[in-house]
Chains A and B, each alone.
Chain A
């Protein structure tokens, strides 16, 4: 990942955390005084490097891991805001990335009953749930949305 892509990646994350919305390439181009095509090409390289996840066949950002840029079944209250994440792991990771306590709300994948876990001082308060990963690690990025 070269310096330009790192700068654009950092601007995208910074913009998202500030506004709660993933920026369009044209917005990042204005922020960084770059050409729109420079940012569009960078978005694709960052997607290929797994530094962000674009919606298929579009330059819309779907994931800035651990954040989901679209509503999901995983809600995290942290740092004074409500965020969406992509899965159980990413939900705890939202607290980690924001260096914040938080509350994770979702449902049991089996029965659909609500689940909630509070995170205090980097530790879960409710500890009796089970975390399950279906896809082996070497295949996580084969289809990250399914993973």
Chain B
């Protein structure tokens, strides 16, 4: 899970490999906060798969690539 300076840098890094999925840094930051904001809470409980899938869906990270199971 990497950061690239631009689409051109990503394509060069892939070197012909099948790409995965790309998002903006804004979406990444929103994803990180939705997924991890409760990580240090004293009453933390593991997220269910459905909970995490809903986070991805809400951010528009949909399609086969983003299916957790």
- A: residues with CB less than 8 A from B are 1, 6, 9-10, 13-14, 17, 49, 51, 65-66, 87-93, 95-99, 106, 108-111, 113, 115, 117, 119, 122-124, 126-138, 147
Contacts and interface: CB of A to CB of B under 8 A. Distances in A.
Interface in B21-36: 21-29, 31-33, 35-36
Contact of A93 (B2, B27, B39): B39
B22 A131 contact: yes
B16 interface: no
Contacts of A126: 25
A89 B9 CA distance: 19
Contact residue range for chain B?
35 or more
Given A6-B45, A96-B32, A127-B24, A88 B37 contact: no
Given A88-B3, A131-B23, A131-B27, 14 more contacts: A65-B39, A88-B1, A90-B32, A92-B32, A95-B33, A96-B36, A109-B3, A110-B9, A127-B26, A128-B6, A130-B23, A131-B22, A136-B67, A137-B56
Contacts of B45: 1, 6
B32 A109 contact: no
A131 B39 contact: no
Residue from the set A87, A115, A122, A129 with the largest chain B CB neighbour count within 10 Å: A129
A75 B44 CA distance: 25
15 contacts: A17-B40, A90-B1, A95-B32, A96-B32, A97-B37, A108-B4, A109-B13, A110-B9, A123-B26, A130-B9, A130-B25, A131-B22, A133-B65, A136-B20, A136-B67
